[in-house]
Structure 1
Amino acid sequence: MGYAFEETYQSKERKGLFKIMNIAVKKSFLKGTINVPGDKSISHRAVMLGAIAKGITRVKNFLNSEDTRRTIKAFRQMGVKISVIESECSGRVDSACSDREIIIEGKGPYLKKPKGKIDAGNSGTTIRLLAGILAGQPWTSCITGDKSLCFRPMRRIILPLRKMGARIKARQDNYAPIYVRGGNLKPLSSPHKLEIASAQLKSCVLLAHLYTGKKIELIEPEKSRDHTERMLKYFGANIKVKGRHIILNPDSSLSGRVISIPGDISSAAFFIIGAIITKNSEVFIKKVGINPTRMEILSVLQKMGANVKLDNKSMEGGEPVADISIISSGLKGISIRGKSIPLIIDEIPILTVAATQARGKTVIRDAIELRIKETDRIKSMVTELKKMGADIRELRDGMVINGPTQLKGADLNSYADHRTAMALVIAGLIAESRHSAKSRPSGRGSANGKTTIHDVECINTSSPEFAKILKKLGADISIAKDDPPTLKLRRAGERRLIIAIDGPAGSGKSTVAKEIAKKSGYVYLDTGAMYRALTLKAMRKKVNLRSPKALVNLAEKTKISFKGEKVFLDNRDVSAEIRAPSVSNNTHFIATVPGVRERMKILQRKMGDRGGIVAEGRDMGTIIFPNAHRKFYLDAKIMVRAKRRYKELKEKEYSATFKKVLQDTIRRDKRDSERDIAPLRKAKDAVLIDTTNMTIKEVVQRCQVLTNDKYQD
């Protein structure tokens, strides 16, 4: 963001842990020896199995990431004592240090009922695997997650758990929050064929079957990651695996163990591919997990011609481990599809970057699962790599990439997805200046070859030390910290602030924002008008307002701009038309679509890059400009707000009754405050101003005084 300030890659307060807005990276090569963080999949499972085992489990090299901390917190809520024994961590699981160990005091299979909801954050592994354990508990629980996780499909685990006797309710019978009433489970009919090749689905069903006391045979359509099977066996379960067949026998009680977690090969993949595609690079990665169901990434790279070798193979905690050496290599395009896809599903974003440097065509198919990850990873990678000049196109279930292509520095979006963010950082290692070759990227380029990836806090999800490791290998990166931003100066003594004003309909925020912008000489950004404009276009073109895909496609082909207080839709002034009641009453269909909001967020943040802006809406201070210099939340009594809206409509000669306007206002308040995506709420650091008995002039003066008091010279 234009209003963030640059800092070194390592915060003094939170060593190695991301608390940042963006990463800037320049062309670099990589050399050195590193360790990568502990495997995330194994870290999750170590906590879960240790918690329901009898006795003490000691976990070495535990990955301390956003996701794994969610799993720890969940089991602590259920009465399991989990502590850190590394002195560097000072006994805190939430501290950002490496090489930590945790101690889990197992309770056995039955746990304590938690107080309140269990929050899985952004972790699909936490919510899906934990659902299997919750199904075995003789009480009712609720597990939920963040906005992204609450839009990922859960029916795949809900249906088999219901067949086993768990009573489950979920939003639209497919999405979190999920309410589980467990206990008295019965086994699925054996053999049971799993509908999809998914390690999370398989693990959920296996964990639930521990509570049946019966034998079950599961058959996978394709082989998926087998960490759960290996770890169940290591913890004492009577489990046998032969190809796609898994047999869990009834005498499968679990006992505490000591387990050393190998390095995560999915995390290592970013450094492996970074070394392959950057010239003169040579990297050695120690003690990485080489589970056969995770090795497909190395097999694919070797088929593409990569110089990757394994040394010092051994076994730790039931998992194979090896050192990996990588040297810069030329690559060739290949076809990647079928049974390979479930085994590399997390590595496809970074493989896409490798494919841009491969000679010839690379085709990735059968990867439709990517569209329901933390973001639509097919669309996100195609969109962002195109900005860098890549020859890449989107398929329904994958991508086609032609190479090699010289990538160019650009401003990129992470889509709040950790794997997309890290893949784009690696792409930045090979990016040239936009003037260094004839072709130019379609997005906003960088004259000096710098690539900036915005909103990378998400990297905490799996690899909080990602930037630290890259820096150690010699990458030219810098990080902008997510702290209150420094002030930008337009000319001596004049600050270029971002002022965010939120509030419900009729609170006066639009009028107040316009007045403040006018008095300050700032740009007025009416974000609600952007959604209204898109709604107007959708209604005119008869686009299905209940089709998120159609609305996202429409948003991507729409130009919205401002001149003073006028709003232009595809270069046509629609300032008056977007205020019609018919548009107001349908805007919520548009405003609740994640893809549309993502598109609008990018546009809105670009408008605020240089500061000097007054932005009003419903999520300005919470989502769009969380680092705004001054935030206000305007509100007023419902009757007063309805009267203001009614007066506005009458002045514009729209037919309306006060009763209808009041009903609409009440309905709109409820809809805005309860929606899953960007609900209307006051930012913690916003100043609340009740405008019920205030004139516009008084509200404007109040805002100006508070802003001047905070930022006076």
Structure 2
Amino acid sequence: MGYAFEETYQSKERKGLFKIMNIAVKKSFLKGTINVPGDKSISHRAVMLGAIAKGITRVKNFLNSEDTRRTIKAFRQMGVKISVIESECSGRVDSACSDREIIIEGKGPYLKKPKGKIDAGNSGTTIRLLAGILAGQPWTSCITGDKSLCFRPMRRIILPLRKMGARIKARQDNYAPIYVRGGNLKPLSSPHKLEIASAQLKSCVLLAHLYTGKKIELIEPEKSRDHTERMLKYFGANIKVKGRHIILNPDSSLSGRVISIPGDISSAAFFIIGAIITKNSEVFIKKVGINPTRMEILSVLQKMGANVQLDNKSMEGGEPVADISIISSGLKGISIRGKSIPLIIDEIPILTVAATQARGKTVIRDAIELRIKETDRIKSMVTELKKMGADIRELRDGMVINGPTQLKGADLNSYADHRTAMALVIAGLIAESRHSAKSRPSGRGSANGKTTIHDVECINTSSPEFAKILKKLGADISIAKDDPPTLKLRRAGERRLIIAIDGPAGSGKSTVAKEIAKKSGYVYLDTGAMYRALTLKAMRKKVNLRSPKALVNLAEKTKISFKGEKVFLDNRDVSAEIRAPSVSNNTHFIATVPGVRERMKILQRKMGDRGGIVAEGRDMGTIIFPNAHRKFYLDAKIMVRAKRRYKELKEKEYSATFKKVLQDTIRRDKRDSERDIAPLRKAKDAVLIDTTNMTIKEVVQRCQVLTNDKYQD
């Protein structure tokens, strides 16, 4: 549908340092002394344990990022007072600066029931660890997240929590939103073997066991990050760790503490590798956390030949810290797999960049977990580094990289993933002009060696100071609004593409599809309008909407065509009539009939035979055009989508209340996603775009960048 977007859609900017921005970087070397932001994993846990401890917890060097702000907001919803006592940002926790101090007034283990859902945003740590605490609360709660998080698997935490007695419901029993009815938990049988080596799974189970009053012994298949165990002990829990065995005893009451959070080694890894692979670089990073379960990144780099040294070791808040000095180094390829992978899972994107500069072959295996992060990080890194000329190929569970390769400047896509974005920025530090090397990169190259990474506001998820720190080290880097070129998809001799756009009602897909079609000179294919047109005809002819045979027979005798944005039913313009609420509310009867869908599929594919179309609907990328050249999945929060629909109906003078429109939208979402025939779902290779706080222009521009990025001269 063509929506007139309300103020929320037009004018509100997303929070954070970057707002639809790109980073442009040129070949540089790095020199200087820096501090990196506080460790994200420890920042999350400090808030959680401080909230359920008794007394005051003071957290120094707290990382103020989008993810950690979600954790703060969640506990504020549950009655925990959390305040800033020292900040450059006037005491506002929701502002984007990093180095700060917070005070948490602990409530003890039992919290206040929140009003409404808890939104974890894009934070897997928030949703998975918090689920363990919610399982111990004597009330029902719901925790959800953004679209990306809602496609990440949660069964790994759901199953053990159910065994402990929590009543849990989740979408497809595996995805958020997750509804938790807690209280009266019983311990798991001890010893309990965890299915996978996951710090988040382990932490969820440990936090839930605090509410059983019983002893538990957990056994990990491989050692994973142990921040939760260390912090539980620091807060007073009776916990013992020996190798892969963790024993939590019943007398584990928690008391408030003062915590100084060390620098995040995962954030430091970008600057460490940046210094290693750029010539004549020398960087000194102060007070970085060197937890043994996080040190694997340094071990791997040292095996590759990197010159990395640790100095001034000490302990802070139960965590070891040290200063790290790095000097430019030659690297050699190695094999990275097995027990190393869980310990470096977040650093693999930047390690991939390092591997392009290593002599020989680097093989990364057993990293299938990367495919279910914020994006498929295996595919994203392989795709983007190939554009820069890297000799890299994708494996089911990892990558093979041959080096060293001289990378070339290119236009790159972040896939809205913070670690992918930062890794590509570091790759840009060693990129040369495409004319300075004998070979040219596949994809679009940069004549002056500049590398541009689009859509980098995602960096605010974990490292809002990233660009500022790089500049301090001397990197030739600039941040600008993403102002992509107009789509150029109809040049002489160039293939005519099929662009598929899917999404639920009110996500903006129709308006965006029309704009893209207009800018590119393509045909706009509104597949939803085809089902609406047939619904309108069935209602006019009083065909039984519950008779599949009658509907299939009607479809075979119906002609539907498009001229521009107009829809013609049996050669009659019905563009306005098919938007009536009565038609909208009955279209699902038509859309779920297999024979009708098969007829429509034939018509739609015939329209797409020549290419040069922008098709929007609910199964364009999954069923109708599975081989579309570019796929997008648009979504937005339910309240925003309902407001858009309500405003459109009011402007067209249809009688409607917002409550009724919201109920209809919820029902429609449920029908579309749960129907047996062609359910609404995101294609695996579709790019997810959350339009909640974006303008039409911003969404169209992002689609332009990603399409141009994939198909260049």
TM-score, length-normalised on structure 2?
A: 0.73
**Higher deviation after alignment, 3-12 or 80-89:** 3-12
Deviations 1:553-601 (A, max 9, x none): 9999999999999999999999999999999999999999999999999
Q: Residues 566-605 of structure 1: matches in 2 within 5 Å?
A: none
Shift in alpha-carbon separation, 1:594–1:472, aligned structure 2, 3 A: farther
Whole-Å separation in 2 of the counterparts to 1:681 and 1:43: 34
Deviations 1:258-292 (A, max 9, x none): 00000000000000000000111111100000000
Shift in alpha-carbon separation, 1:106–1:655, aligned structure 2, 3 A: closer
Whole-Å separation in 2 of the counterparts to 1:344 and 1:290: 13
CA contact (8 A) 1:3 1:610 kept: no
* TM-superposed deviation, 1:97: 2.4
* TM-superposed deviation, 1:456: 1.2
Deviations 1:232-282 (A, max 9, x none): 000000000000000000000000000000000000000000000011111
Whole-Å separation in 1 of the counterparts to 2:49 and 2:502: 45
**Higher deviation after alignment, 675-684 or 183-192:** 675-684
Shift in alpha-carbon separation, 1:627–1:89, aligned structure 2, 3 A: farther
- Is 1:191 the counterpart of 2:191 in the alignment? yes
Deviations 1:200-254 (A, max 9, x none): 0000000000000000000000000000000000000000000000000000000
Aligned to 1:292: 292
Deviations 1:661-702 (A, max 9, x none): 999999988766999999999999999999999999999999
Shift in alpha-carbon separation, 1:174–1:683, aligned structure 2, 3 A: closer
CA contact (8 A) 2:484 2:705 kept: no
Whole-Å separation in 1 of the counterparts to 2:553 and 2:86: 50
Shift in alpha-carbon separation, 1:51–1:698, aligned structure 2, 3 A: closer
* TM-superposed deviation, 1:518: 8.0
* TM-superposed deviation, 1:89: 2.4
**Higher deviation after alignment, 590-599 or 437-446:** 590-599
Whole-Å separation in 1 of the counterparts to 2:705 and 2:333: 62
Whole-Å separation in 1 of the counterparts to 2:79 and 2:640: 49
Shift in alpha-carbon separation, 1:396–1:549, aligned structure 2, 3 A: farther
* TM-superposed deviation, 1:19: 2.6
Aligned to 2:561: 561
CA contact (8 A) 1:282 1:325 kept: yes
The runs of 4+ residues in structure 1 deviating greater than 4 Å are 1-16, 482-713
**Higher deviation after alignment, 543-552 or 475-484:** 543-552
Q: Residues 193-592 of structure 1: matches in 2 within 5 Å?
A: 193-481=193-481
* TM-superposed deviation, 1:192: 0.5
Shift in alpha-carbon separation, 1:528–1:365, aligned structure 2, 3 A: farther
* TM-superposed deviation, 1:602: 26
Deviations 1:496-534 (A, max 9, x none): 999999999999998999899889999979899999999
Aligned to 1:670: 670
Q: Give the SS at the match of 1:633.
A: strand
Q: Give the SS at the match of 1:440.
A: coil
Whole-Å separation in 2 of the counterparts to 1:602 and 1:420: 39
CA contact (8 A) 2:543 2:550 kept: yes
* TM-superposed deviation, 1:91: 1.5
Deviations 1:428-473 (A, max 9, x none): 1111111211222111111111111111111111001111111111
Shift in alpha-carbon separation, 1:120–1:217, aligned structure 2, 3 A: same
Shift in alpha-carbon separation, 1:558–1:196, aligned structure 2, 3 A: farther
CA contact (8 A) 2:484 2:701 kept: no
Deviations 1:130-179 (A, max 9, x none): 00000000000000000000010000000000010000000111000000
Q: Give the SS at the match of 2:468.
A: helix
Shift in alpha-carbon separation, 1:31–1:689, aligned structure 2, 3 A: closer
Shift in alpha-carbon separation, 1:228–1:667, aligned structure 2, 3 A: closer
Whole-Å separation in 2 of the counterparts to 1:552 and 1:274: 61
Q: Give the SS at the match of 1:596.
A: helix
Whole-Å separation in 2 of the counterparts to 1:475 and 1:561: 55
Q: Give the SS at the match of 1:601.
A: helix
Whole-Å separation in 2 of the counterparts to 1:671 and 1:131: 28
Shift in alpha-carbon separation, 1:689–1:2, aligned structure 2, 3 A: closer
Shift in alpha-carbon separation, 1:190–1:356, aligned structure 2, 3 A: same
* TM-superposed deviation, 1:22: 1.4
Shift in alpha-carbon separation, 1:148–1:571, aligned structure 2, 3 A: farther
Whole-Å separation in 1 of the counterparts to 2:253 and 2:191: 22
CA contact (8 A) 1:3 1:611 kept: no
CA contact (8 A) 1:4 1:486 kept: no
Shift in alpha-carbon separation, 1:13–1:245, aligned structure 2, 3 A: same
CA contact (8 A) 1:24 1:450 kept: yes
**Higher deviation after alignment, 450-459 or 286-295:** 450-459
CA contact (8 A) 1:483 1:627 kept: no
**Higher deviation after alignment, 577-586 or 432-441:** 577-586
- Is 1:652 the counterpart of 2:652 in the alignment? yes
CA contact (8 A) 1:488 1:496 kept: no
* TM-superposed deviation, 1:372: 0.9
Deviations 1:475-507 (A, max 9, x none): 111112379999999999999999999999999
**Higher deviation after alignment, 301-310 or 561-570:** 561-570
Whole-Å separation in 2 of the counterparts to 1:450 and 1:688: 27
Q: Give the SS at the match of 1:83.
A: strand
Whole-Å separation in 2 of the counterparts to 1:352 and 1:373: 16
Whole-Å separation in 2 of the counterparts to 1:227 and 1:91: 28
**Higher deviation after alignment, 521-530 or 117-126:** 521-530
Shift in alpha-carbon separation, 1:142–1:451, aligned structure 2, 3 A: same
Shift in alpha-carbon separation, 1:407–1:618, aligned structure 2, 3 A: same
Shift in alpha-carbon separation, 1:50–1:331, aligned structure 2, 3 A: same
**Higher deviation after alignment, 454-463 or 525-534:** 525-534
Deviations 1:628-666 (A, max 9, x none): 999999999999999999999999999999999999999
CA contact (8 A) 1:673 1:681 kept: yes
Whole-Å separation in 2 of the counterparts to 1:425 and 1:556: 54
Shift in alpha-carbon separation, 1:692–1:33, aligned structure 2, 3 A: closer
- The aligned length equals 713
Shift in alpha-carbon separation, 1:377–1:703, aligned structure 2, 3 A: closer
Shift in alpha-carbon separation, 1:549–1:438, aligned structure 2, 3 A: farther
CA contact (8 A) 1:487 1:497 kept: no
* TM-superposed deviation, 1:96: 2.1
Deviations 1:392-414 (A, max 9, x none): 11111111000000111111111
CA contact (8 A) 1:3 1:486 kept: no
Q: Give the SS at the match of 2:313.
A: strand
Q: Give the SS at the match of 1:464.
A: coil
CA contact (8 A) 1:487 1:495 kept: no
* TM-superposed deviation, 1:21: 2.2
Whole-Å separation in 2 of the counterparts to 1:305 and 1:556: 68
CA contact (8 A) 2:490 2:521 kept: no
Whole-Å separation in 1 of the counterparts to 2:660 and 2:342: 53
CA contact (8 A) 1:500 1:630 kept: yes
**Higher deviation after alignment, 191-200 or 599-608:** 599-608
Shift in alpha-carbon separation, 1:685–1:334, aligned structure 2, 3 A: closer
CA contact (8 A) 1:9 1:479 kept: no
Shift in alpha-carbon separation, 1:187–1:391, aligned structure 2, 3 A: same
Whole-Å separation in 1 of the counterparts to 2:502 and 2:187: 52
CA contact (8 A) 1:487 1:496 kept: no
Whole-Å separation in 2 of the counterparts to 1:550 and 1:408: 60
Shift in alpha-carbon separation, 1:175–1:683, aligned structure 2, 3 A: closer
Whole-Å separation in 2 of the counterparts to 1:191 and 1:651: 63
CA contact (8 A) 1:406 1:432 kept: yes
* TM-superposed deviation, 1:3: 22
Whole-Å separation in 1 of the counterparts to 2:378 and 2:706: 45
* TM-superposed deviation, 1:20: 3.6
CA contact (8 A) 1:3 1:609 kept: no
**Higher deviation after alignment, 488-497 or 511-520:** 488-497
Whole-Å separation in 2 of the counterparts to 1:488 and 1:388: 22
